[in-house]
Structures are given as C-alpha cells and as structure tokens.
Structure 1
Amino acid sequence: MGAVVVPVSAAARPRIPAPAPAVLAPVTASTLDTAYAANRANAAEAARMAADHGDRTRAAADRAMADPSRRFLSFDGRGAGQAVEVFGDLAHADRVAVLVPGSDTTLETYGRFRAGALALHDRLGPNTAVVAWLGYETPGTVSPTVLTTGRAEDAAPRLKGFIRELRGVVGQSARISLLCHSYGSVVCGRAAQGVDVADIALVGSPGTGADSAAALHTSARVWAARGADDWVAHVPHTSADLFGTTVGFGTDPVSPAFGAHVFAAGDGGHSDYFTPGSVSLDNLARIVLGDTSEVTRAYQPA
C-alpha cells in the first residue's frame, strides 16, 4: 500500500446555517407532490439563510433547487448538503435507476451529478424514472476518508432504507437498478446484501471493499466498467491495515478475479460515464431497461 493520499491542510469552512429537513410521512405514490413541495420550500429557506450568512455560492445552489420544476424526495441544506432528486414520473415508472455519486459531490457541485441523471433519463425514454441519490456526506478526493470505507459504512444503511421506501412508491413489479460511480461503488458494495434491486452497476470503481462479486452477497446481477482514460485504473487495488484502519478497497471490479459482468465504457475518463451519446451511457441504459443481452461487453484478458 504505497500510495496514501496526504490530506491538504486548509482552514475549515464555516458551517452554513440551514433549516432542518422537512418532516414528512413515508412517501407514497399519492403523496409525491406534497413531498416535492415541502422540499422545495425547505430549499428556498436554506437559500435565504445562506444569503444572510454571506455565502452566495451556496445560496445560488439552494435557490436553483427551490425552482418549481424541481422534484426532491428529500433535501438537507446543512453542512455539505444532501438531496435526493427525481427525474421522470416516479409513480408510474416501470424502470427506475438510482444513481449514487462519488467523492466531492456537495450541493455546490451537484450540477454535474444532476447532468448525468438527466442524460440517463433522456436516454431511457418513457415509463422510466431516475433518482439522483446524494443521500450521504461524500468524502473529499484529497482526504484520508476517501481511502477507507468509513463514509460508505455510514451511507449504506441509508441507501438500503431508501430503496425500501422507493419500493413502496413504485410497487413490486418495477425494475430498480443501482448505478454507482467511483466512491459511490463502495457505498453500493456495503449496501448490496439484501437490497431489493435487479442490477448493481459499478463504474469508475476503486473497489467495493469485497474480494469478489459473490462476496457482496446480493441476488442482483453485478456489472462493472471502466473507461480507457479513467485515472482510477492506476489506484492500487488492494487493502491493508494501517494504524487499525483498513485502507483501500480490494479487488478491481473489472478484473476477472472479481467476477462481475464487465461491459464496455469507451474511451472516456473518470467523469464521462454519463456523457450523452457515450458507449458507457448506452450500456447503462440497457442495463436499467433490462435489455442485458444488448449490453456491449468489454474484452477481458484470460
């Protein structure tokens, strides 16, 4: 374990004031509009408080989320912020993709995550929905937390709980898929056992913390892909105990040893998996739609 990221020292950012999240009953298909309205109102109040605090960047991000066109199942403007946004008609969708982001995703940087969710929904077509699940505090790329499973272990129960709630909205017949990017694949790896989804797709993954797809103990079909220009290929795919903490995430998910269904992701880099028109986006859409026989497979050396 020769590569350990040294945290860059910087002054701590002052906490941005924001209201507590809206208190809502468990969401059902018939109460979605009520939830959306309550979370937009919460975002508007968060924008006002951030502006009063003098943080124009956060105020602008919150204000955008309060737009009448936005649909959030949850919103929390405190700290780095969390938000769960819906694209499409969730109540009537028969195919649902849940996107789990990686490091450095906050309310300020949420736009790039949202763009990927929108691109996927555009590619999926009618009777589908995409959920952008920023339901945890992501680690910073340049920080010690990005090398350990700590944030993922905190996030996994929340993700599993969300999938249970989502199942109550869309019903048992809907096909739900988890699409997990970068450190988000560590979250999905920790949440995989018992989660009620058809597929788990890992893209740009540094590893899941498990030695193999079988070790995830999931009934979901496990997929993996990495773009040809993704720097995560150079991350050491191992784990070691360092001062009582496990550092690293184990076996490379695109290696034959891991045992996932490896699919083509084209020539893109670490942030390009949801680029419109890309090989990776087309294959992810096929996985979500259940057209798995049409997924373009990647070559794997023996």
Structure 2
Amino acid sequence: MGRFRRFLTTAVLTTLLVGGTAGWASASGESAPSGPLPGTASWLADDSLGRELPDPATATPAEVAAFFAGLSGAQRQRLVEDHPTVVGNLDGAPVHLRYAANASAGDRVLAYDPRGRGTIAQVAGDLEHAAHVSVIVPGSDIDASAFDRTARRAADLQAAAGDDTAVIAWAGYTTPSGIGPDLATGRLAEAGAERLARFTAGLDAAGLPDPALFCHSYGSVVCGLAADDTDASDIVVMGSPGMRAADVGALGTDAHVWAAKSPHDWIGRVPNVEFLGLGHGADPTSPGFGATVLPADNVPAHDAYFAPGTSTLTAFAAIADGARS
C-alpha cells in the first residue's frame, strides 16, 4: 500500500510540478516533426557534382564532414545557395556554411527547422575559433517561438566565461508543452537524447572541442539519456527532476557530472522516484548520486540559475572555460 501511495504521489506531483513556468493548458501527446527536412528530395536528386550527396537521414556527421572537406569553396557555396534547409541542419557540415544557410533565421544560427513548434540552435561567441564550447539544453515550453530565454542564458554564460568560450543555445528537440503526462515520462526526452547525441557528434566532426552540457529542468532528463552517447567533457544539471539514472555510474559517461538545486526551487517538491515509467528517478544533488554539487543558495527561482550575480552562473562560467574540474 505504501508503494502504491508513493506511485500516486509521484504521478500527480510530477505531472503538476515539472513544468515549472509552463502554461496550464494540457498539451499531452506532443510529437517531433517526422520525415525528411524540406528540400531533402531536391538535395538527393542533385547530381551536379558528379557524385551522390550524403543522405541527411543516414549519413553520419563524420561522413558529412568528409564530404564537405572534399569540395572546393565554390562547390560548397553553391550547395548552400541551392539547398539551404539541408545544409543549415546537416550535422558535421562546416560551421560557417551552416550560418550562411540559416542566415534568414538570424545571426549565427547553427540549425533551424520551422516544422511544428520549430527547433533552433544559436551561438553566442566565436564558435569556429573557440577553445571551449558549451551547449545549453533547455526544459519544457521552449521552442522556436519561445527561444529568447535560452538565447539570453547562452549570452549571459558566454559573457561570464570569456572570449575563448562559445555557448550554443540548443532548442533542438520537441519539449513538453503545458501541463500533461509528457512532463512525467521520458518519451520526449528519449527522442531529444538521440538528437542531442547527433548534434554533439556533429560538433566533433567539425573539429570543435568536446562540449560542456548545461541541462535545465526537463533538459536534464534529455542529458541523462544522452550521456553515454556524447563526448561531453562536463554535464551540468540544474533544477533537475532526475536523469533517469540511479547514480553517476549508471549514466555511462566519462564526463564530470555537476548538479545544482536551489532551496527556493519548486523542483524540490517533486518526488525523486520512477515507477511504471512516471517520474525521473534520483535527485542528482543527493549524496548517493555522486555528482559534484554546486552552491545554489542565492538562486531565487527555478528559472534563475543563469542569472547574473548568482553563485551558479559563476560556477558555470568556470566549468565552461575549463577552469573548474
């Protein structure tokens, strides 16, 4: 009976609380856009180079990088002009080509897919020459139309970390929207983890440093599931409902894992259990989890871990620029 009561508590509280600043409208059953990117058919039919172009659905980022390395500057530019929606989202393609392909979506946009609620990745800093790279993975209710919060956090982290650090605001997966069952399950996080792993593989294929991942709220569930498939140097979670792992060892990663939770964060009221697929497991800040816990006493709210002047932003900046290990 005690276990059943705990299950009911988990189901109700996780569903109600994990959304944080989410709206109250129910939006269960979110789904990521499926099928090839717009323009893929034209890309695959292009035989102007006398060779097949890499299939965006099946080519690895390393294969994509090797393909572009074998092209002349003029050939690369023509592909950007003729197939911007493909090149702009092709993990492993050179950074400057992705920027050029996504120019209509804004400055230093590394990926943009307008389908559905939209996904986007945007860079703060000089990614092509950065000594250190970080990726911010947001939680619920973030998409192309509500991207400003994540972009602002990336700008604040990059400014605090310094000129040799680039920070990518990565809203590259379909996040839970509103209050609903998606918040309490790992379904969207599993799809997001696959996308995050491919994205970081693309950074590696483009010759960029191993990234530090900064994962907020439901984004920490994504990072937990992606941990063993990325080459991240650090994984930092904040305001986390759990990473779907019992401890750091279960994440299957060599990355240094850090965790922060403010005493003023409502996430502390979410039960850290997982039962019949509901809930996200152990609290990453608990002693038994094994993460390095960062001070967060002066963080005033769930959405304020990147706020200037907080102890967490100071710690995040030191991790991002490699000064803290």
State the TM-score, normalizing by the size of structure 2: 0.73
Q: What amino acid maps onto 1:262 in structure 2?
A: V
Q: What amino acid maps onto 1:107 in structure 2?
A: A
- Asked if 1:286 corresponds to 2:304, the answer is no
Partner of 2:230: 195
Post-superposition shift, 1:141? 4.3
Partner of 1:151: 188
* 162 and 263 in structure 1: CA distance in 2 versus 1, 3 angstrom threshold: same
Contact 1:188/1:208, CA 8 A, preserved across alignment: yes
Partner of 1:261: 292
Partner of 2:101: 38
Q: Give CA-to-partner distance per residue, 1:224-279, whole Å, 9 cap, x none.
A: 001121100110100111xxxx0001111100111111111232210001111211
**Secondary structure class of the residue paired with 2:320:** helix
- Asked if 1:138 corresponds to 2:169, the answer is no
- Counting only pairs closer than 5 Å after superposition, residues 154-193 of structure 1 correspond to structure 2 as 154-171=191-208, 174-193=209-228
Query: Distance in 1 between the 2:26 and 2:216 partners?
Result: 26
Query: Distance in 2 between the 1:115 and 1:145 partners?
Result: 26
Partner of 2:308: 276
Aligned pair partner of 1:94 in 128, 131, 144 = 131
Unaligned runs of 5+ in 1: 14-18, 44-65, 294-302
Identity of aligned residues (%): 41
Post-superposition shift, 1:152? 0.7
Greater strand share, 1 or 2? 1
Partner of 1:249: 280
Q: Whose Rg is larger?
A: 2
Query: Distance in 2 between the 1:73 and 1:186 partners?
Result: 23
Query: Distance in 1 between the 2:250 and 2:210 partners?
Result: 23
Partner of 1:62: none
Contact 2:121/2:168, CA 8 A, preserved across alignment: yes
- Counting only pairs closer than 5 Å after superposition, residues 4-19 of structure 1 correspond to structure 2 as 4=12, 5=15, 8-9=25-26
Partner of 1:115: 152
Tell which has more relative contact order, 1 or 2 (C-alpha 8 A, sep 6+).
Answer: 2
Unaligned runs of 5+ in 2: 1-6, 17-23, 31-36, 40-84
Post-superposition shift, 1:133? 0.8
State the TM-score, normalizing by the size of structure 1: 0.79
* 196 and 71 in structure 1: CA distance in 2 versus 1, 3 angstrom threshold: same
* 258 and 118 in structure 1: CA distance in 2 versus 1, 3 angstrom threshold: same
Query: Distance in 2 between the 1:83 and 1:23 partners?
Result: 14
Contact 1:95/1:128, CA 8 A, preserved across alignment: yes
Query: Distance in 2 between the 1:102 and 1:9 partners?
Result: 17
Query: Distance in 1 between the 2:256 and 2:157 partners?
Result: 20
Aligned pair partner of 2:249 in 214, 224, 231 = 214
Partner of 1:52: none
RMSD: 2.2
Contact 2:162/2:321, CA 8 A, preserved across alignment: no
